[in-house]
Structure 1
Amino acid sequence: MKIFIAALCLFIVQIMIILFLEHRCPQRAVVWIFLSFCCPPLGLLIYYFLGRDYRQSRKVKARAAETRRGLHNYAAERSRLITRAKDTGNLELSGCEDLLRLLNRLSESPVTGRNASRILLNADEAYESMLEAMESASEHIHLEVYIFRDDGIGERFQDVMIRKARQGVKVRLLCDGLGSHKLGRRFLRPLTGAGVETHFFLPMLASLFGRRINYRNHRKILVVDGLVGFTGGINIGDEYLGKDPKMGFWRDTHLRLEGDAVYFIQNVFLKDWRLVSGERLSHPRLFPVHTCEGREGVQMISSGPDGEIDANEAMIFGAICAAESRVWIASPYFIPDPAILRALKNAVLRGADVRIMIPAKPDSALVYNASLSYVDHLLEAGVKFYRYRKGFMHAKVWIADGLLASVGSVNMDMRSFYSDFELSAVLLHPQRIEELAGQFRRDLEDCEAIDPGVFRNRGKLARAKEEICSVLSPLL
């Protein structure tokens, strides 16, 4: 009896601690209470290592603020900032000034007007464009990815980085400590030997004992000479070229940028570099005056657990609320928070065509089952879901009317919104928005629509798995 009472007291203490620390995020509190109930002796220990709020570190706060102040000035001084919707060249956005004001207040990066973008469909096109840009480098190459593989395409990038470093180009490589944990000394030694500076964001052991293993750098960035930038959904690995027999064809979207927006991609990289290496890079040569003649409106939105605002989640929410005719989303993972769920339902009630494309072949059973629980709720509200059957859908694309479209690393899930360091490009030019919409229509030809009646009749076991995964979804 005494053991039972002690265990009960321990459980109550765990619940009280979790409720006190997680009262601002009820979804996370529910998950941790559920885990504590399932394994009372270990619940608090697991929470200790995985549940720490990243923002609690004074060192992180101070360093991030210091870096933001210095770098933002370089970027802003050299850019054409857009504060009026009519200056974007998007007539549809001209009737939605509130959305532009929201965008400009969300991020350290404002909307800029001197840009030229190119949409890169799938990894073969993206890699060739990235490698071509790296070959042309004369000053520096800054590469930041979540996953970097020691495989065929990884060796191609390795070869270019080594060669350019030996030519005197400053090459910096930043990889996530979890996503790239298989990248070993055999691969890294030639890079460092040639002068390539390499760092890992929160390596496995350091992040575990630093109680930050739940926070990952999911950004995909390449900046060459401060004049050409890339971002999107593509990491460095052969699976992105469709060479993984399990996943097959890999559908993805990346973006090549020139102009003002590159300054702010550079800004994000240098901030991350400072955070990981401790080295402050702020030379004006990192932000050279560009000669881009493009007139596209573009905004780079970075977000992460170190930010005061969940900027990408707020951007998506604002765009959905502003949309009147269409909200089209492609995402490999679909675990929206309550605000996004309500916004999608309201968009349907307003008469908008809401379509969401997810993979038919998942790379994570847990995440996929959690996604299906949300599909169930939204199908009843009139949202249309499509499962991509040609291969694995990994593109992260959002389209709201003709107002804006977004390409980046952000998935439609709570991990991307709150726990991961992410970057997305908001495109305001009508031509780019329609180009992405046209590709979305073509992708629909390789999809199977989820029939609400058939989906509703799936078995009880499937429903049970989905609901359990749904409870855990804020941590997935």
Structure 2
Amino acid sequence: MPLRLGTLLVHSTILAISESAQTTPDPPFDLVHLLIVDLLFRVALVVMVLVRKSGNPQTALTWVIVLVGLPFIGLILYLLFGESRFGHFRRKRHAQAIKRVDRPGVRANSNPRARVELPLKETQVATLAEQVSGSAPVGGNQLRLFGDSAEFVDQLVEDIDNAQKSVHMLFYIYLDDSAGKKVAEALMRAAGRGIGCRLLVDDVGSKAFLHSQLATDLKTSGVALVGCLPVNAVRMLFSRLDLRNHRKIAVIDGQIGYTGSNNLAEAAFAVKAKYAPWVDCTVRMDGPASKELQVLFLEDWHFETGELPEDELKAQPEFREDGLPVQILATGPNFYNEATTQIVQACIQVVQHELILTTPYFVPDESTIRNLCVAARRGIQTSLVVPKHNDSRLVGPASRSNYAPLLEAGVEIFEFTEGLLHAKTITIDREIGVVMSANLDRRSFELNFECGALIYNSDFASELRLLQKSYISRSEAVSLLDWRKRSRVSQMRDTVAGFLSPLL
């Protein structure tokens, strides 16, 4: 079918060229010829889209319509954003970094005491997570959950001030605000004591920070500061510019680790203050799971710099006797590219009583929507919490385009009204808790480097559930009846955004 369609389009193009040649003797290379060249490119791309994206018909259809309906613009859009291009050399270098870092004896489960046995439900999720991400669950971790950004920053600063050997941090966004300054000052104090301080920030998410005086001061003080996945005109030819390192990681002395949704910024989030406060969730872990975050950081550091601090790689954290089992989940374009999707769907499929999900951006694939609908229809109390006012004019309506099938199936949808809910969390039956950097959208599922923590403990899951319930208490419930009564303009806007969602 794709080849037949391509043949028809090529034939029509040849006819157009023939007619142009007959009506215009010795034509200059004018707009007509430019259109013909554009059409030829688009024909080739349509065939490629139909072949390469055959497993995702919605994405394929959207791109075909964009390519056919938007001369020049559609071609440029597809070349920039149509493929998950990490770049051949980047992909090869990243694979080499993982191979060099992830050696026998490096992982936390190389310590026999850290290995854990889990009940059946947890084992089903953990086995899949290990298969797609490479990290096994490990015990002996003391945990602290942060639902307040200021408390998170204060504790991080305290841990940096107490560091004895090293401080490693990776954040998508680092702002030059009071929170960013507090952490930067702690890093400079640590560097002054001879502590090895390494800071990775995304080149796009933290662009302003990388050109700030604060960044200069950090480098001058001895903090190694590097931008992840740098953007320039040459790289644009070989890889997608919007493929970003979206992880949030901090590791102190290889013993204490952080991951979650917090960027290094105030809740006021000055660059988008209109939607503030940003409401986030991060987990601090003291124990073997921090080694998994350390491995992840060192893979990214080695990839960006070529450096690999061997002492940091070999050191194993202490096992905490009263600690809990934690599994670190790492995903990205150089991993199995459906990893996040499959973990989220596994969480939905194993639930028996209650499922609560929170996310700022809800633009998942069709199979995730279907799994949520099936969960609700089999009697699972299924709740989704998203912001009422989204900072993205397209993602907000695209999220709402999925409401109707979910509400009809019995999924409860709540829109958070007191700021931008940025926490990315899942609880399953008050038994498993998930805190992550990944949104429930295609960008996190297919493009970005992400990380998170799966915690297999009922006490922690219950604590996380209480935080989720606090979000629900500050939200408005969306009813199916009211949803059907919304204006025609809103319906049309949501439909168009939903159609474009594979491109977001």
Alignment TM-score > 0.5, same fold = yes
- Among the aligned pairs, what percent are the same residue? 28
Residue number in structure 1 paired with 2:25: none
Worse-matched range after superposition: 394-403 or 264-273: 394-403
Match for 1:229 among 222, 233, 257? 257
Residue number in structure 2 paired with 1:208: 236
State the shift of 1:245 in Å. Answer: 4.5
State the shift of 1:427 in Å. Answer: 0.7
Residue number in structure 1 paired with 2:88: 57
Call closer, same or farther: CA 1:240–1:316 in 2, change over 3 Å: farther
Match for 1:292 among 308, 317, 320? 320
Show structure 2 runs of 5+ residues with no match.
Answer: 1-18, 21-31
Worse-matched range after superposition: 280-289 or 346-355: 280-289
Residue number in structure 2 paired with 1:415: 443
Call closer, same or farther: CA 1:289–1:411 in 2, change over 3 Å: closer
Call closer, same or farther: CA 1:113–1:72 in 2, change over 3 Å: farther
- Determine the C-alpha separation between the residues in 1 that align with 2:496 and 2:112: 48
Worse-matched range after superposition: 152-161 or 208-217: 208-217
Amino acid of the residue matched to residue 262 of structure 2?
A: I
State the shift of 1:173 in Å. Answer: 0.8
Match for 1:131 among 136, 157, 160? 157
- Determine the C-alpha separation between the residues in 2 that align with 1:317 and 1:210: 32
Q: Is the 8 A contact 1:123 1:252 kept in 2?
A: yes
- Determine the C-alpha separation between the residues in 2 that align with 1:147 and 1:96: 32
Residue number in structure 2 paired with 1:67: 98
Do structure 1's residue 154 and structure 2's residue 180 form an aligned pair? yes
- Determine the C-alpha separation between the residues in 1 that align with 2:180 and 2:87: 36
State the shift of 1:8 in Å. Answer: 4.8
Structure number with greater Rg is 2
State the shift of 1:109 in Å. Answer: 0.8
State the shift of 1:324 in Å. Answer: 1.4
Call closer, same or farther: CA 1:341–1:285 in 2, change over 3 Å: closer
Residue number in structure 1 paired with 2:219: 192
Specify the SS of the correspondent of 2:347.
Answer: helix
Residue number in structure 1 paired with 2:203: 177
State the shift of 1:256 in Å. Answer: 0.4
Amino acid of the residue matched to residue 448 of structure 1?
A: E
State the shift of 1:195 in Å. Answer: 1.2
Match for 2:366 among 338, 345, 368? 338
Amino acid of the residue matched to residue 118 of structure 1?
A: R
Specify the SS of the correspondent of 2:394.
Answer: helix
Amino acid of the residue matched to residue 117 of structure 2?
A: R
Residue number in structure 2 paired with 1:88: none
Specify the SS of the correspondent of 1:32.
Answer: helix
Specify the SS of the correspondent of 2:138.
Answer: coil
Amino acid of the residue matched to residue 200 of structure 1?
A: G
Q: Deviations over 1:158-196 (max 9, x none)?
A: 111112112111111101111111121422211111111
Amino acid of the residue matched to residue 266 of structure 1?
A: Q
- Correspondences of 1:43-122 after superposition (within 5 Å): 43-54=74-85, 57=88, 59-61=90-92, 63-68=94-99, 70-73=101-104, 74-75=106-107, 76-78=109-111, 80-82=113-115, 84-85=117-118, 93-94=119-120, 97-122=123-148
State the shift of 1:222 in Å. Answer: 0.5
Match for 2:416 among 376, 388, 392? 388
Residue number in structure 2 paired with 1:277: 305
Residue number in structure 2 paired with 1:166: 192
Amino acid of the residue matched to residue 30 of structure 1?
A: L
Show structure 1 runs of 5+ residues with no match.
Answer: 86-92
Residue number in structure 1 paired with 2:167: 141
Worse-matched range after superposition: 128-137 or 155-164: 155-164
Match for 1:465 among 462, 482, 493? 493
Q: Is the 8 A contact 1:123 1:241 kept in 2?
A: no
- Determine the C-alpha separation between the residues in 1 that align with 2:121 and 2:428: 14
Match for 1:36 among 50, 67, 90? 67
Residue number in structure 1 paired with 2:405: 377
- Correspondences of 1:313-462 after superposition (within 5 Å): 313-462=341-490
Amino acid of the residue matched to residue 42 of structure 2?
A: F
State the shift of 1:242 in Å. Answer: 8.7
TM-score (norm 1): 0.92
Residue number in structure 2 paired with 1:308: 336
Number of residue equivalences: 469
- Determine the C-alpha separation between the residues in 2 that align with 1:422 and 1:109: 14
Q: Is the 8 A contact 1:79 1:260 kept in 2?
A: no
- Determine the C-alpha separation between the residues in 2 that align with 1:100 and 1:151: 38
Specify the SS of the correspondent of 1:246.
Answer: helix
Call closer, same or farther: CA 1:170–1:96 in 2, change over 3 Å: closer
- Determine the C-alpha separation between the residues in 1 that align with 2:83 and 2:275: 34
Call closer, same or farther: CA 1:391–1:185 in 2, change over 3 Å: closer
Amino acid of the residue matched to residue 16 of structure 1?
A: V
State the shift of 1:300 in Å. Answer: 0.4
Call closer, same or farther: CA 1:55–1:176 in 2, change over 3 Å: closer
- Determine the C-alpha separation between the residues in 2 that align with 1:363 and 1:381: 28
Worse-matched range after superposition: 459-468 or 431-440: 459-468
- Determine the C-alpha separation between the residues in 2 that align with 1:341 and 1:162: 46
State the shift of 1:457 in Å. Answer: 1.3
State the shift of 1:34 in Å. Answer: 3.0
Q: Is the 8 A contact 1:18 1:32 kept in 2?
A: yes
Amino acid of the residue matched to residue 244 of structure 2?
A: R
